[in-house]
Amino acid sequence: MKRAKSSLEKTKEKSEKERARWEEEKKLLTKRGRESGKEISELKKKLKISNHTHSNLCADKENLSANVNCLNKLASRADNKKNKAILKAVLKAKKEVNSFQVKEKGVVTDSVWDLARDLVAVGLKPGMVGPAVNRVLSAAGVNVNGTISHTTACQAIIEGGVAADLQMTEAMRTSDGFIVSGDGTTHRSLNYESHFVMVNKDGLRKNYFAGITTAPNHTSQEQCDAWERLFCCLTDLYNCSPFGKKNGLIDVRELIQLLTGMLSDHAEDQKLLAKLLESLKRVWERKLRGEEAMLEMDMVLLMPLIMEATTTAVYAAGGAKAWASLSPEEQACCTKNIYHVIQQRIGQNTFESLSLDQQRTINLFIWMGCEIHNDLNTVKAGAIAMGKWWEENKVLGPKKLLNCANKDAARIGGAAGEHVKEVSVGGAIKATSISVALFNHKNDKTGQHNTYKIFMEEKLSHLATFPNPSNNQFQTHALAAEQLIVNLEAYKEFLRLVKDKKEKRNWTNLELNLWDALNDLPTLHKLAALAVYSQTISVLYVAHVRKNPDQNALDMGPYHQEVLAACKAVIDNPDIVLGANTFHVPATLGGEQFYHSEVMYAVHRMAPSLLHLCPLVQRFFTGAYEAWPRFMTEFAAGGKIAHLTEEERKCATQSTNNNLNESAFGIVRQNWRFTGHTLILYHNS
| Same domain? 460 vs 597 | yes
Q: Is residue 87 part of a domain?
A: yes
Q: Is residue 88 part of a domain?
A: yes
Q: What is the pLDDT of residue 15?
A: 79
Strand partners for 261 = 179, 366
Looking at the structure of the chain, the number of domains it has is 3
Residue 472 has pLDDT above 60, yes or no: no
How confident is residue 478, by pLDDT bands cut at 50, 70 and 90? Answer: confident
Q: Is residue 183 part of a domain?
A: no
- At residue 639's C-alpha, the angle toward residues 252 and 380, to 5°, is 95
Residue 275 has pLDDT above 80, yes or no: yes
Mean pLDDT of 106-132: 84
Mean pLDDT over each residue of the chain, to the nearest integer: 84
| Same domain? 116 vs 83 | no
Which among 377, 484, 376 has a CA at the least distance from the CA of 430? 484
CB contact at 8 A, 616 and 525 = yes
Q: What is the pLDDT of residue 286?
A: 87
| Same domain? 104 vs 93 | no
- Tell me the per-residue pLDDT of 163-195, one tens digit each, with 9 for 90 and over: 899 999 999 999 999 999 998 888 888 888 999
Q: Which residues fall within 8 angstroms of residue 295, CB to CB, at 6 or more apart?
A: none
Determine the angle formed by the axes of helices 597-606 and 476-486, rounding to 10 degrees. 60
Specify the amino acid at residue 150. H
Residue 345 has pLDDT above 90, yes or no: no
| Same domain? 75 vs 124 | no
How confident is residue 38, by pLDDT bands cut at 50, 70 and 90? Answer: confident
Spatial distance between the Cα atoms of 205 and 200, rounded to a whole number of angstroms:
4
| Same domain? 400 vs 430 | yes
Mean pLDDT of 131-135: 86
Residues written for the chain = 685
Mean pLDDT of 621-636: 91
Q: Which residues fall within 8 angstroms of residue 61, CB to CB, at 6 or more apart?
A: none
Q: What is the pLDDT of residue 404?
A: 74
Q: What is the pLDDT of residue 217?
A: 87
Mean pLDDT of 204-222: 89
Q: What is the pLDDT of residue 55?
A: 81
Determine the angle formed by the axes of helices 150-173 and 110-121, rounding to 10 degrees. 90
Spatial distance between the Cα atoms of 17 and 11, rounded to a whole number of angstroms:
10
pTM of the model: 0.78
Mean pLDDT of 312-341: 73
How confident is residue 65, by pLDDT bands cut at 50, 70 and 90? Answer: confident
| Same domain? 75 vs 108 | no
The last residue of one of the domains, among 148, 167, 184, is: 148
How confident is residue 421, by pLDDT bands cut at 50, 70 and 90? Answer: low
The more confident residue out of 630 and 23 is 630
| Same domain? 630 vs 502 | yes
* Residue-number span of the structural domain to which 429 is assigned: 371-653
How confident is residue 676, by pLDDT bands cut at 50, 70 and 90? Answer: low
Q: What is the pLDDT of residue 367?
A: 92
Spatial distance between the Cα atoms of 74 and 306, rounded to a whole number of angstroms:
90
How confident is residue 582, by pLDDT bands cut at 50, 70 and 90? Answer: confident
Q: Is residue 318 part of a domain?
A: no
| Same domain? 488 vs 621 | yes
Q: Is 392 exposed, middle or buried (0-12, 13-18, 19+ CB in 10 A)?
A: exposed
- Tell me the per-residue pLDDT of 136-164, one tens digit each, with 9 for 90 and over: 888 887 888 888 888 888 888 888 888 89
Q: Is 81 exposed, middle or buried (0-12, 13-18, 19+ CB in 10 A)?
A: exposed
Spatial distance between the Cα atoms of 553 and 378, rounded to a whole number of angstroms:
18
Q: Is residue 273 part of a domain?
A: no
The more confident residue out of 11 and 501 is 501
Q: What is the pLDDT of residue 93?
A: 65
- At residue 176's C-alpha, the angle toward residues 180 and 193, to 5°, is 10
Which among 642, 632, 629 has a CA at the least distance from the CA of 568? 629
| Same domain? 484 vs 574 | yes
Q: What is the pLDDT of residue 408?
A: 67
What backbone torsions phi and psi does residue 200 show, to the nearest 5 degrees? Answer: -105, 125
Q: Is residue 63 part of a domain?
A: yes
For 472-540, the three-class secondary structure string (H helix, E strand, C coil) is: CECCHHHHHHHHHHHCHHHHHHHHHHHHHHCCCCCCCHHHHHHHHHHCCHHHHHHHHHHHHHHHHHHHH
Q: Is residue 550 part of a domain?
A: yes
In this structure, the strands spanning 177-187 and 190-201 are: antiparallel
Specify the amino acid at residue 381. A
CA distances from 327 to 323, 330, 333 (A): 9, 5, 10
How confident is residue 95, by pLDDT bands cut at 50, 70 and 90? Answer: low
What is the DSSP annotation of 143-191? Answer: EEES---HHHHHHHHHHHHHHHHHHHHHHHHTSSEEEEEEEEEEETTEE
Mean pLDDT of 432-444: 82
CA distances from 30 to 17, 18, 38, 39, 671 (A): 19, 17, 12, 14, 121
CB contact at 8 A, 398 and 526 = yes
Per-range mean pLDDT, top range of 16-20, 27-31, 556-560? 556-560
The last residue of one of the domains, among 97, 113, 136, is: 97
| Same domain? 582 vs 523 | yes
| Same domain? 132 vs 2 | no
Mean pLDDT of 375-397: 89
Specify the amino acid at residue 3. R
How confident is residue 669, by pLDDT bands cut at 50, 70 and 90? Answer: confident
Q: Is 56 exposed, middle or buried (0-12, 13-18, 19+ CB in 10 A)?
A: exposed
| Same domain? 88 vs 106 | no
Q: Is residue 265 part of a domain?
A: no
What backbone torsions phi and psi does residue 491 show, to the nearest 5 degrees? Answer: -70, -40
Q: What is the pLDDT of residue 11?
A: 77
The more confident residue out of 531 and 476 is 531
The more confident residue out of 50 and 325 is 50
